[in-house]
Structure 1
Amino acid sequence: MHSQIRPRNPSRKNVSAGAGNTLLPIMRRRIRWQWIALMTALPLLVGAQDSATEHASDSLFGLDRVMEVTLTIEPEEWAKLQPPEGLSMDVGEAFGELIGDAMKGGHMRAEGATRPGLAGYLGVNHQYGKATFEIEGKQVSPIGLRYKGNGTFLEYKEGRIEQRLSFKIDFNEFQEDLSFRGLGKLNLNNNITDPSYLREALSYELFREAGIPCSRVSFARVNLRIPGLMDRQPHGLYSVVEQVDKRFLKHRYGSAKGLLLKPSTFGSFRYLGESWEPYEIGFVPKTTPTEAQKERVIAFARLVGKTADEDFAAELENYLDVDQFLRFLAVNTLLCNLDSFLGNTQNHYVYLEPESDRFQFLPWDMDHSFGSFPLKGSPESRRALNIDHPGGRDHKLIERVLAIPEHKEHYHAILKEYLGTLFEVEKLHRQIDAAAQTVRPLVAINGPKATERFDAILADEPVWWEKHPLKYFVSERHASVSDQLSGMAEGADLEGANLDFKAWIALFITGAVVILMHFAGWIWGMVAGFRSGPLWGFLNLCFYPICPLIYGFAIRRDLGRRAALWAFFWTLALVGVGLWASAMPGK
């Protein structure tokens, strides 16, 4: 059969062309609307995914939440966590170097250390080992596990596996795409300085109630297993603290494009010149800064450190989220949280929020909150901490902000508001009791005396060996702040919040010389006494300086007068040193 060639139908061609011309705009419109719908829905889909991720991590946290956590690590990986063998852990020497850096205007970072803080001065640079993290039956591996902390690491004893130190868990250390319920890192804090195990957790809760972005917290019974060295066994009761990092910023701010800093230097926003390098060391960026962000940090430091009062007041709100700062300051002040931003050194974060291009302050590491930091003041003076000078009169940022009348008035209004809300006595007592009920069943695993200390710090009144119970602090602090706001009390100035290191070193050297001279006088008086007989020799030996004074001025002036004069002079000198020490700030 021959194929037939059909003649072309002009009318058909025209119909097809007409239909194509008609359908093409319709198809374009459909594609355009579908594209618009997709672009509109995409943020919602991403937001839903983020919301689901955050919801998943939410289930890990809460003051009523206690989880079972097991860390499994091989012996060779465990060895990577340990400091170098033979490390002296000479705290006195470390403090000496730290004080030296402070006097030189340096930073809280030892030369050659990979981390800031006291641990670096001790020669400790925490290293990760590869481990497995198991929480309530779910395993995540491989994760990075290392020790963490500065002051809490002072408990380290070489070779003691059972010692309860704080840990940092990094899900990304050995596998970049690994996370757990949307989290990249977690902190397991031992609360070795806090017999209640609650200060930090409760403090974060109060900051959260104040609207300050901060870490979420829960508790965990942590088990440790090192095959061949330690079977799975309870290692201690820990608090679980969310890490402040890019994931945190994205959850709280919707973006991690701002600059996150974790300062570790002597002075809040201390001006270090126009070069970025010293800020890199002292302000410790946790995200990579852009050139504009570097300039912003330097400009704010210049404003705080170098600008006249009138210009400072005019420019402040261009750089600082003042309302957020005053709320952050108010909660710190109520909690008398001195090992923190109030201490003018470390234990806080600063975030340059990208939308407003203004700085915000975030809390961190609050095991010494509730007025418990022992290096500044007494329990009584900390409970009465001056609300207008909570960081001491040398804390330049706080002092300059509160010197502006409208900001001080707003700050006082915030304090008054919080006394009736988040820091209201009965409300906070109930929070303390509820959190205590959560952790009480597990306290005993932290040692034979843990329960006794826990009960003492949760008591309503102090005992001779626990002067600072939580609820007692809250009641007394509330009364003190209320009295200060009403003008009935001035509050206690804890100038030790910013130690005058030169004055303390001068006092130490003077005291050492006086004690040495006293020792020489003791020997001299004893020898002078024995020259007249054993009776006065032994009396001068045992009852210095009283007996040498009696012997030299009344009994045997010929033998003991010069020794008595020596004892008298250096006794007066010792009294003078004592008076000097009692008047020193930071006692």
Structure 2
Amino acid sequence: MCMTPSRLLLILALVGTGFSCQQKAIDIDPGSTNSDWTTESHSNEVDPNYAVVFPQEQVNTLEITMTAADWTAIRADMKTKFGSDFGGSGTTGGGMGGAGGFGSDDPDYVALPVKFNGKVWNKVGFRLKGNSSLSSTWRSGIYKLPFRLHFDKFEDDFPDIKNQRFYGFKELSMSPAYSDNSLIREKVVADIFRSAGVPAAQTAFYKVYIDFGEGQKYCGVYTMVEVIDDTMVKDQFGEDDGNIYKPESTFQQFTQSQFEKKNNETAADWSDAQAFVTALNATTRTTNAAEWRANLEKTFNVDHYLKFLAVNNTIVNWDTYGAMAHNYYLYNAPAGKLTWIPWDHNMSMTSTAGGGGNPGNGGGGMRAVSISMSEVTGSWPLLRYVANDPVYYARYKEHAKTFLETVFTTANMNALFEKNTNLISPYVIGPQATETGKYSNLSSSANFTSALGVLKAHVVTRNQEVSTFLK
């Protein structure tokens, strides 16, 4: 029924418009039991408000409250799926513990209240996320865990949150800067990609407070990351009708299960992804290179990928295609071909596999792709084959040169690093808040203060190495 006073007034106002009570009941004032509900903040009737959710000049605050029973349920789910209780191995004072993946299923969602700017969002879906970042922090007993928020995940169970949004956003990802003493890599690398003309998720810093059932604790500075299939594609590509994939594939062959669809799930059509992989591995690559390139470019935005690759290999990235078969999206853009979207940047912009954090991580045997790509084997065909093709390799070098001269200069990078470090410093090492102990991935405040210099030195080194490569 939709005969609450507020809905009755709206129904009366709609008399003569052709809308029935039944038609409007599903989408007007779905948060009527929440006094904080407003159209601007909670409804799905507004465009995403990037200025509020992703500010670039301030650090927002997010408060999450769970009961002791919620935390117990999370621990039980993690132990069942991944074989380890919280703090089950490793150290507990900011150490990295045992890195590496531990399970393939996503953790379960629980329904929790989230508070922001004095307003509450009820029954928000909260779940842990990540691979090595989650594995290490969980086993080490670090409460600064990576997590994801889904604002209408439980709308079927709780109709009052039907189509609930967070200033226009349905889902948001929270990165704790695992293995990154600077705490800014996730943020600045996304900025760098966009500055170079490569669409990437919007990011912003948040102070996060979590009550695990025993009182609110400060869990430090997180980077909020826009979810690709929620708002990013529509915002930066202008539409989101095409297939969005989050693959776990090296592209040696097409295996449907390796191409997870993030939209259009009910349409059993993977033909665009299959056509791309087929074109990439076609035998014409060695017999008729021009034909191979033409067919590949019908299915895949190659020049855009070469631009991404030039940026990615210049800055150094230990956790993406070439090292791991994940951390990227493919979107069938308006042009009708798949376009590469980068994802997950906390382990980039560093010369060590630990991602610029505690060296105890060791990198798990990962190897970042060099600027020349000379070491890459055929097990990574999208790297090896474009590097082998003289036309594509020349374009790749042109993109690297442009990036080096117009974006990745020491002046530009130093300004970017200093701005973001200064922005979060009061909330990492004080005086307004301090990350400490088991509520931080930092083993000491000195590691944070020295990280800025490490980042700046990395840019100098990479500029020298890439310049030498381009000669």
Classify the TM-score, shorter chain.
Answer: 0.7 to 0.9
Q: In the TM superposition, what whole-angstrom CA distance separates every residue of 1:391-415 from its partner, at most 9, and x where no partner exists?
A: 5564211222233322222221111
Aligned to 2:209: 223
Match of 2:31 in 1: none
**Structure 1: gaps of 5 or more residues:** 1-48, 91-116, 273-277, 460-468, 487-587
Partner of 1:480: 465
CA distance in 2: counterparts of 1:389 and 1:290, whole angstroms: 41
Instruction: Report if the CA contact (8 A) 1:73-1:131 is conserved.
Output: yes
Relative to 1, partners in 2 of residues 1:51 and 1:427: Cα closer, same or farther, differing over 3 Å? farther
The aligned counterpart of 2:435 is: 446
C-alpha separation in 1, matches of 2:58 and 2:451: 21
Return closer, same or farther for 1:390/1:212 CA change in 2, 3 Å cut-off.
farther
Structure (1/2) with the larger helix percentage: 1
Question: Displacement of 1:264 after TM fit?
Answer: 1.6
1:501-520: CA deviation from partner (whole Å, max 9, x where unpaired): xxxxxxxxxxxxxxxxxxxx
CA RMSD of aligned residues (A): 2.9
Compared CA separation, residues 429 and 378, structure 1 to 2 (3 A): farther
Deviation string, structure 1 residues 90-120 (Cα, Å, up to 9, x no partner): 9xxxxxxxxxxxxxxxxxxxxxxxxxx9232
Matches of 2:374 and 2:45, distance apart in 1: 41
Structure 1 residues 389, 184: CA separation in 2 closer, same or farther (over 3 Å shift)?
farther
Is this contact kept in 2: 1:313–1:404, CA < 8 A? Answer: no
**1-side partners of 2:436 and 2:201: how far apart?**
28
Residues 119 and 65 (structure 1), Cα distance of their counterparts in 2 relative to 1, 3 Å cut: farther
SS of the residue corresponding to residue 284 of structure 1 reads strand
Separation in 1, partners of 2:265, 2:147: 28
Q: What residue identity is the alignment partner of 1:321?
A: N
TM-score (ref. length: structure 2): 0.75
Among 432, 453, 463, the residue aligned to 2:417? 432
Query: Any conservation in 1 of the 2:101–2:135 contact (CA below 8 Å)?
Result: no
Aligned residue number for residue 421 of structure 1:
406
Query: Residue 261 of structure 1 aligns to which amino acid in structure 2?
Result: Y
Residue pairs, 1:55-74, within 5 angstroms: 56-74=49-67
Gap change, CA 1:213 and 1:165, over 3 Å in 2 = same
For 2:234 and 2:210, how far apart are their aligned partners in 1?
32
CA contact (8 A) 1:119 1:125 kept: no
CA contact (8 A) 2:169 2:230 kept: no
Distance 1:59 1:212 in 2: 23
**2:125 corresponds to 1:144:** yes
Pair 1:396 & 2:381 matched: yes
Displacement of 1:338 in angstroms is 2.5
Is the partner of 1:179 in helix, strand or coil? coil
> Quick one: structure 1 residues 391 and 367, their matched pair in 2 at CA, closer, same or farther if it must change by over 3 Å?
farther
* 1:302 alignment counterpart: 278
* 1:211 aligned partner: 197
Look up the equivalent residue of 1:136 and give its one-letter code.
Answer: N
Q: Which amino acid aligns with 2:217?
A: Q
Aligned-residue identity in percent:
24
Counterpart of 2:328 in structure 1 is 348
Classify the secondary structure of the residue corresponding to 1:341.
Answer: coil
Q: Secondary structure at the match of 2:260?
A: coil
Residue 180 of structure 1: how far off its partner (Å): 0.9
Please tell me whether the aligned partners of residues 44 and 163 of structure 2 are also in contact (alpha carbons under 8 angstroms). no
User: For residues 303-323 of structure 1, what are the alpha-carbon distances to aligned partners after superposition, in whole Å with 9 as ceiling and x for unaligned?
Assistant: 222432124223121111122
SS of residue paired to 1:221: strand
Does structure 2 conserve the Cα–Cα contact (< 8 Å) formed by 1:168 and 1:185? yes
The one-letter code matched in structure 2 to 1:242 is E
* 8 Å Cα contact 1:222/1:237 also seen in 2: yes
Counterpart CA distance in 2 for 1:271 and 1:177 is 39
**TM-score normalised by L of structure 1:** 0.61
**CA 1:291–1:128: 2 relative to 1, 3 Å:** closer
Q: Does 1:129 align with 2:110?
A: yes
The change in CA–CA distance for 1:289 and 1:234 in structure 2 (over 3 A counts) is: closer
1:177 maps to a residue whose letter is N
> 1:244 matched to which residue of 2?
228
User: Mind listing any 5+ residue stretches in structure 2 that lack a counterpart?
Assistant: 1-42, 86-99, 156-161, 355-361, 438-442
> SS in structure 1 opposite 2:470?
helix
Structure 2 residue 337 is the aligned partner of structure 1 residue 366 = no
Question: Partner of 2:322: helix, strand, or coil?
Answer: helix
Q: Distance in 2 between matches of 1:391 and 1:440?
A: 39
For 1:253 and 1:51, locate their aligned partners in 2 and report how far apart those are by CA, in whole Å. Answer: 20
For residues 219 and 411 of structure 1, the distance between their equivalents in structure 2, rounded to whole angstroms, comes to 32
- Tell me the secondary structure at the aligned position of residue 195 of structure 1: coil
SS of 2:107's equivalent in the other structure is coil
The alignment status of 1:254 with 2:238, answered yes or no, reads yes
Query: Aligned partners of 2:223, 2:134: CA distance in 1, in Å?
Result: 16
Q: Determine helix, strand or coil for the equivalent of 2:281.
A: helix
1:247 is displaced (CA, Å) by: 2.8
Answer with 1 or 2: which has the greater Rg. 1
- Once the two structures are superposed, residues 424-474 of structure 1 have per-residue CA deviations (whole angstroms, 9 ceiling, x without a partner) of 112111111111101111113322643211122222xxxxxxxxx111111
Q: Of the candidates 187, 190, 208, which is equivalent to residue 173 of structure 2?
A: 187
Partner Cα separation in structure 1 for residue 364 and residue 375 of structure 2? 12
Alpha-carbon distance between aligned partners in 2 of 1:325 and 1:164, rounded to the nearest angstrom: 34
Distance in 1 (alpha carbons) for counterparts of 2:444 and 2:376: 32
Offset at residue 334 of structure 1 (A): 1.2
- In structure 2, how many angstroms separate the alpha carbons of the residues matched to 1:286 and 1:208? 22
Return the structure number with greater relative CO, CA threshold 8 A, min gap 6.
Answer: 2
Q: Please list the CA deviations of residues 363-393 of structure 1 after superposition, one character each: whole Å capped at 9, or x if unmatched.
A: 11111001342467999x96x9333448556
User: Is residue 64 of structure 2 the alignment partner of residue 81 of structure 1?
Assistant: no
Instruction: Please give the alpha-carbon distance, in whole angstroms, between the structure 2 residues aligned to 1:50 and 1:184.
Output: 8
Q: Distance in 1 between matches of 2:364 and 2:74?
A: 36
Residue type of the partner of 1:64? E
Q: State the match for 1:270 in structure 2.
A: 252
Gap change, CA 1:324 and 1:85, over 3 Å in 2: closer
Cα distance change of structure 1 residues 270 and 293 upon mapping to structure 2, 3 Å threshold = farther
User: Structure 2: how far apart are the matches of 1:173 and 1:126?
Assistant: 14
